[in-house]
Copies of this chain bind each other. A is one copy, B any other.
Amino acid sequence: MSEGVEWGLHSCVLLGWLSPEAVAGRRLAEYHELPPAYLNKQLQALVRAGIVTSVSGPKGGFQLARRPDRITLLDVVVAIEGTEKAFRCTEIRQQGRNVLSPEHYRQPCSIAVAMRKAELAWRRELAAQTVAEMMASVQRHSPDTPERVRRWFDTERS
């Protein structure tokens, strides 16, 4: 899985705390010391997916498009990784010299079904967790984090 997913999730948590301020991608990159242009690319994917909105120009930047409790981890993963399923069945059972009439392959490939079942369980778990819960979990471990983040983004100018 692309590491852009990790960056996107952490960025969403930061944006959640800084809401409703618009934050420049450059500053988000500085916070974690990430390549600014590449992080920008990932944020663009979030924009296309409607998770965050962007405004150009000075005072511009990114902000969450909706409340953090309405953004699931699955939303972010799909936005960056794409909608392609991890296991894609190429129907090799219908290739080769021992192939039957297409009627015999009406039933979907059993292996594909099994793999898809596991993948759905994965997606279900991701869809059950929201960005808001990530924020709450972090705050539970170190309660002063939101305030510390806000202060850094307000004051530090480098």
Contact = CB atoms under 8 A, between A and B. Distances in A.
Contacts of A113: 137
Interface residues of A, number: 53
Interface stretch (A45-53, A60-68, A141-149): A141-149
Interface of A: 1, 3, 5-7, 9-10, 13, 30-34, 73, 86-90, 92-93, 95-98, 104, 107, 110-111, 113-115, 117-119, 121-126, 129, 133-134, 137-138, 141-142, 148-149, 152, 156, 158
10 contacts: A5-B87, A6-B92, A13-B111, A30-B96, A31-B97, A31-B98, A32-B92, A114-B134, A121-B121, A122-B125
